[in-house]
Amino acid sequence: MTYRKREMIAERIDVLYEKIYLSWNQTLFKIYQMSQNYMSWILSDEIYKAFRHLSYPWHWVIIWMWMISTKSYERILFDEEGFQIISGNTGSGKTSLTYAIIERDRMINSKPWYINSPFEKPREDLDRGIKYLYHKLYNFTDFWSNWKMHALPNHKRYGGIVIDEMHRELDYRMTMTREYKSKFNPFRDYAVVVRHYIKKIIATTQMERVDKQLMQLAKYFHVVRINIGFDYEDWLVETGAFRFKILGWYVDSYTINALSDTDKVLYKTWYYQNEYADFDYYDTYSMSGAYDHLPLAR
């Protein structure tokens, strides 16, 4: 076979390959368009509603499976509704545990929380060029001050309220003063019926005991101790950096003795393992600038 014949055969093969390639691409594009049209049609409100009615009673199988899947997580004491207090010394892990609790609740129940200190770091959406937070910052006096409640926390959108360092909001040594009562009384009235509204309030404090009225409000009084270990997964799989991470918290949970108002009765000693919260977005120094607005003494 001459060189010219081989060249002509090669050209024909190239032309055939190009036709097949273009035809295949066009077919794939048509399939993609059909799938998009099908999805927009099948997912339309009218069609979806019709399928829901036509699939009776078999759609109950899907509903039951969904109900079972939403309850597959192990319930903990912090899942219970009402007012709870977390106590511990500086560095014991009160606020980090609170962050883990509200992140777990957000992922399970799809609701963020109100927080009164900025311990959540912003996340960044690079595609849209924005930074965002899941949990909403608020001030205690936005809701409770001057002997009244100013607004109702949005229980339809948010899963609970955090009162971090509660002794900064309600100084227990001032319980008999008008200033204390003007904030405490409206808060107390809301906390009593909180199960009918936002469901959960978690307060943190360094005090072993608080105002006896607050103690009476609390369903549980938790004393915590943090457990920190080596971040093996990050070292092995991700960054290779040597660093520590929060593994969990040792928790002593107490109920309040109704006869003495303030005596705690040990209810349960347990360990809460962190499985939900990403502590890359937790700011352990969130309160470090609390007094930065004041001039430095010289």
Domain membership flag for residue 289? no
Closest CA to 265 of 201, 219, 196: 219
Q: Give residue-wise pLDDT tens across range 111-163.
A: 999 999 999 999 998 888 899 999 999 999 999 999 999 999 999 999 999 99
> Tokens for 92?
């014991």
Domain count, the chain: 2
What is the CA 40 to chain-centroid distance, rounded?
Answer: 32
Query: Do 52 and 173 have their domain in common?
Result: no
Closest CA to 185 of 220, 213, 219: 213
Predicted confidence (pLDDT) at residue 70 exceeds the cutoff of 70: no
User: How are beta strands 114-115 and 136-137 bridged, if at all?
Assistant: parallel
Domain membership flag for residue 134? yes
Q: Give residue-wise pLDDT tens across range 28-57.
A: 777 766 666 655 555 566 766 777 777 777
Q: What is the CATH number of the domain that holds 227?
A: 3.40.50
Closest CA to 211 of 166, 265, 267: 166
Domain membership flag for residue 288? no
